[in-house]
Amino acid sequence: MLGFASGLALYILWPKARFPAGTSTMHRGSAVIGPDIIGVGLLALFVALPVWIGRAEGAEGLHGSALLIWPLLPAPLALLFVAASNACFGLWVGPAGLSISSLRRTERIGWDEIIGWRPWRRDRLRVFRAVAPFLPPGAAGAVLLARASTGVEIVLRTGRSRRLPREGFENGLARVQRALTERGLPRLEPTH
């Protein structure tokens, strides 16, 4: 219990990313805390499960199930990485352009560098949705409930583009779209 309480206190008191006033950030509950809770819970379960199974069977050391369970450890670690990335994501709309902070760097994009914007959608589960009728009910339900990633793609004069997510960032995205429209930057046709 002491370990749980100290971990919770560390999580709550850990310094948060500092952004300038007026910066739009990801929704803290659904984009940061939710993946953190799920990631830590699954990580603890996957690490402890072979030990618990071994003790339940009266065996010393690790149970052989560790060979099957521990390779799954990258999944909760990926959730923790997603939560850390979302916590560090910030977008500031200024008079000179956009400033986009991420886990690794801060990118500044001037208004004169942008030629337009367009909606984007990424649906990696399209193939799975086609085979959903042939899957067991639980797996089929998970596939059918999964949503596509959506957002706005800012197209730059250099030919590069920068994608901003909609999930967990609805208010910030609306602010960016409003700023792009106010500056007369056109909405481009979506790419497929």
Distant-in-sequence, close-in-space partners of 187: CB < 8 Å, separation ≥ 6? 116, 117, 118
CA distance readout (Å), 157 to 112, 116, 151: 9, 9, 20
Same domain (yes/no): 184, 150: yes
For the chain, what is the domain count? Answer: 2
Question: Which pLDDT score, from 0 to 100, does residue 72 have?
Answer: 87
- Segments forming the whole domain that contains residue 132: 90-192
Task: Copy the structure tokens of residue 24.
Answer: 């739009």
Same domain (yes/no): 69, 162: no
Same domain (yes/no): 49, 39: yes
The DSSP output letter for 110 is E
Which parts of the chain register pLDDT below 50?
Answer: none
Question: Which pLDDT score, from 0 to 100, does residue 111 have?
Answer: 93
Question: Which pLDDT score, from 0 to 100, does residue 132 have?
Answer: 65
Residue 170, phi then psi, degrees to nearest 5: -60, -45
Same domain (yes/no): 96, 177: yes
Task: Copy the structure tokens of residue 17.
Answer: 């990313």
Among 88, 121, 143, which residue terminates a domain? 88
Same domain (yes/no): 54, 108: no
In a domain, 9, yes or no: no
Same domain (yes/no): 94, 187: yes
Same domain (yes/no): 83, 97: no
